[in-house]
Amino acid sequence: MSAALALFKRELRIASRAGGGGAMGVVFFLILITIVPFAIGPDLNLLSRIGPAILWIAALLAMLLGLDRLFLGDHEDGSLDLLQMGALPLEVVIVVKCLAHWAVTGLPLVIVAPLFGLMLAVEGDGLAGVAASLLAGTPALTLIGAIGAALTVSLRRGGLLLAILVLPFTVPVLIFGVSAASAASGGTVPFATPFLILCALSLAALALAPFAAAAALRSRD
């Protein structure tokens, strides 16, 4: 337990000292939200209708941005070798690293999403729905992304390949995330149905992704 805690603290400490990946993710999120109205026009009715979807796509891309760094630093400086030889099983190391990565990149998006939702004329229940669905769904994105990050960790052009590998697998999360977010602001489907499936996706990812990522990391050289 103390080893897991030490790992979690170290990840947060590195993130806070080196560059502030979380803040960059939020800025990127804001830029994406700003760009969309330029493309589809400033019609608030339209924006309010597709607002939850825009927020979700922006969050998905912002999460993807930092994923290639998840294991890369530890691979390059040899830490990954030692993490494999430590007291924690590699699967647990991966869960802890994902948790820390999510706390730095995913959680800030959940917090600012309602604020940015106002810019897209999403209101009241809709804002809460977006925040809740992001809270439930972004962990799945981090975990699925961890598989891709582990598969591409030792490759030179890993970043683009990571996106190509991971994005198709995020389709279910996107579908149910946007469904839940839209359902919250009215619609034919009750909010709970897609939301619970979204939670299930995150839990399933938590159960399976660490094993796949660990297998990938073990065979990286």
Partner 1 sequence: MLKYANPTHFLRLVAAVLPWLWLACVGLLGVGLYMTFFIAPADYQQGDTVRIMYIHVPAAWLSMFAYSIMTLSALGTLVWRHPLADAAQQAAAPLGAVFTFICLITGSLWGKPMWGTWWVWDARLTSVLVLFLIYLGLVALWNTIEEPTKAARTAAIFTLVGVVNIPIIKFSVDWWNTLHQPASVMRMGGPTIHPTMLWPLLIMAVGASLLFLALHLMAVRNVILQRRLRRLSYMAAQAGEQEMAS
Partner 2 sequence: MTRGPRLLVENLALVRGTRRLAQGLSFALESGQALSITGPNGAGKSTLLRVLAGLLAPAAGTVSLSGVDPQEMAQHIHYAGHAEALKNALTARENLQFWSALLGGPAGLTPQQALERVNLAHLPDLPVSYLSAGQRRRVALARLLVAPRPLWLMDEPSTALDTAAQARLAELMEAHLSGGGLIVAATHSPLGVPAGELMLGGRP
Binding positions for partner 1, rule: CB under 8 A: 147, 151-152, 155, 157, 161, 164-165, 167-169, 171-172, 175-176, 179, 188-189, 194, 201, 204, 208, 212, 215-216, 219-221
- The smaller minimum CB distance to partner 2, of residues 104 and 135, is found at 104
Task: Identify what 76 binds: partner 1, partner 2, none; CB under 5 to 8 Å per kind.
Answer: partner 2
The token pair that represents 111 in the structure block: 């917090």
- The smaller minimum CB distance to partner 2, of residues 49 and 220, is found at 220
Task: Identify what 3 binds: partner 1, partner 2, none; CB under 5 to 8 Å per kind.
Answer: partner 2
In 3D, which of 26, 47, 29, 28 has the Cα closest to residue 126? Answer: 47
How many CB atoms neighbour CB 75 within 10 A? Answer: 19
| Cα end-to-end distance, the chain, whole Å | 29
Is the distance from CB of 173 to CB of 144 less than 8 angstroms?
A: yes
How many CB atoms neighbour CB 56 within 10 A? Answer: 25
Task: Identify what 55 binds: partner 2, partner 1, none; CB under 5 to 8 Å per kind.
Answer: none
Task: Identify what 84 binds: partner 1, partner 2, none; CB under 5 to 8 Å per kind.
Answer: partner 2
Q: Please state the closest distance from residue 148 (CB atom) to partner 2, in A.
A: 22
Task: Identify what 6 binds: partner 2, partner 1, none; CB under 5 to 8 Å per kind.
Answer: partner 2
Q: Which residues, including other chains, have CB under 8 Å from residue 36's CB and lie 6 or more apart? A: 47, 54, 58, 120
Task: Identify what 175 binds: partner 2, partner 1, none; CB under 5 to 8 Å per kind.
Answer: partner 1
In 3D, which of 47, 21, 17 has the Cα closest to residue 33? Answer: 47
DSSP 8-state code for residue 48: H
Q: Please state the closest distance from residue 151 (CB atom) to partner 2, in A.
A: 18
111 is a site residue for partner 2 (CB under 8 A): no
The token pair that represents 147 in the structure block: 């598989």
Residues between 49 and 68 with contacts to partner 2, criterion CB under 8 A: none
Is the distance from CB of 112 to CB of 177 less than 8 angstroms?
A: no
- The smaller minimum CB distance to partner 2, of residues 48 and 79, is found at 79
Is the distance from CB of 74 to CB of 80 less than 8 angstroms?
A: yes
What type of residue sits at position 213? A
In 3D, which of 73, 78, 62 has the Cα closest to residue 14? Answer: 73
**Pick from 39, 42, 45, 85: which binds partner 2 (CB under 8 A)?**
85
Q: Please state the closest distance from residue 107 (CB atom) to partner 2, in A.
A: 20
Contact residues for partner 2 (CB under 8 A)?
A: 2-3, 5-7, 10, 13-14, 17-18, 73, 76-79, 81-88, 221
